[in-house]
């Protein structure tokens, strides 16, 4: 559990996801990952050597995705190294941070297109929170990709649409297992289509 001095969960749930779902040498998109390998469940969408994406278990709206580095960095600013590396280990760390930053930037637009295709929305948020006062709930840097549904308009599939909500703690509900399975499957398929369109060599 988190202490009063450290409000974030311990152990880090995103690090648990990273450990439980190593990258595949054949595809960044898992075919049918076991969501029960970790607790709470993880609806994995993307797994590369440097980043992961999965459904938010307290979604603001159906299709709410989290994208995070595989390695633990608390805040976005931690991905930057302000000095020239002097040792081999520091050089490897710098290369890892640079590659992670590149992959985050590469995958955000692809995930955005995929979530729009999978849910049928035309509007979405990409949000990144740093620190407790900025509504960061897990102390592992991550980006939210949140579909925004038009009032009175149905999305794809059987997911129940919810009204617009702000970030942070509040009245968000746990992700329903069946709804999670459904939307995760559609997002994975949309990701495969997107990568096929943009070309695997660019990734």
DSSP H/E element including 136: none
Q: How many domains, in total, are found in the chain? A: 1
Asked if residue 3 is part of any domain, the answer here is: no
| Residue ranges of E strands in 103-179 | 123-127, 143-148
R_g of the chain, CA atoms, integer Å: 17
Structure confidence at residue 198 (pLDDT): 47
CATH label of the domain that carries residue 139? 3.30.428.10
Asked if residue 6 is part of any domain, the answer here is: no
What is the model's pTM?
0.85
Whole-number Å distance between alpha carbons of 60 and 73 = 24
Asked if residue 195 is part of any domain, the answer here is: yes
Asked if residue 158 is part of any domain, the answer here is: no
Structure confidence at residue 46 (pLDDT): 98
Asked if residue 8 is part of any domain, the answer here is: no
Contact 147, 84 (CB under 8 A): no
% residues pLDDT > 70 (the chain): 81
List CB contacts of 94: < 8 A, sequence separation 6 or more.
81, 85
**pLDDT, mean over the chain:** 86
% residues pLDDT > 90 (the chain): 69
Asked if residue 184 is part of any domain, the answer here is: yes
Place of tokens 């129940």: 160
Q: Domain residues for 119?
A: 13-149+173-201
Whole-number Å distance between alpha carbons of 189 and 88 = 40
Residue 54, classed as helix, strand or coil, is strand
Whole-number Å distance between alpha carbons of 34 and 49 = 19
Q: Within 13 Å, how many C-alpha atoms sit on residue 146's CB side?
A: 21
pLDDT in tens, 4-61: 456 666 899 999 999 999 999 999 999 999 999 999 999 999 999 999 999 999 999 9
Asked if residue 5 is part of any domain, the answer here is: no
Instruction: List, by residue number, the catalytic residues.
Output: 142
The predicted model gives 168-180 an average pLDDT of 79
Cα 154–chain centre separation: 24
């Amino acid at each position: 559990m988190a202490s009063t001095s450290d409000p974030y969960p311990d152990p880090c749930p995103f690090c648990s996801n990273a450990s439980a779902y190593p990258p595949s040498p054949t595809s960044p998109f898992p075919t049918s990952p076991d969501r029960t390998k970790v607790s709470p469940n993880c609806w994995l969408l993307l797994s590369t050597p440097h980043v992961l994406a999965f459904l938010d278990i307290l979604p603001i709206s159906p299709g709410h995705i989290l994208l995070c580095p595989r390695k633990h960095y608390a805040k976005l600013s931690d991905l930057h190294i302000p000095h020239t590396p002097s040792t081999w280990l520091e050089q490897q760390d710098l290369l890892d941070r640079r590659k992670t930053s590149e992959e985050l930037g590469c995958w955000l637009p692809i995930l955005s297109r995929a979530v729009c295709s999978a849910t049928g929305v035309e509007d979405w948020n990409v949000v990144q929170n740093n620190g407790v006062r900025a509504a960061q709930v897990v102390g592992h840097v991550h980006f939210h990709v949140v579909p925004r549904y038009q009032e009175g308009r149905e999305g794809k599939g059987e997911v129940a649409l919810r009204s617009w909500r702000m970030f942070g703690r509040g009245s968000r509900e746990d992700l329903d297992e069946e709804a999670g399975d459904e939307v995760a499957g559609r997002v994975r398929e949309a990701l495969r289509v997107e990568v096929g369109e943009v070309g695997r060599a660019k990734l």
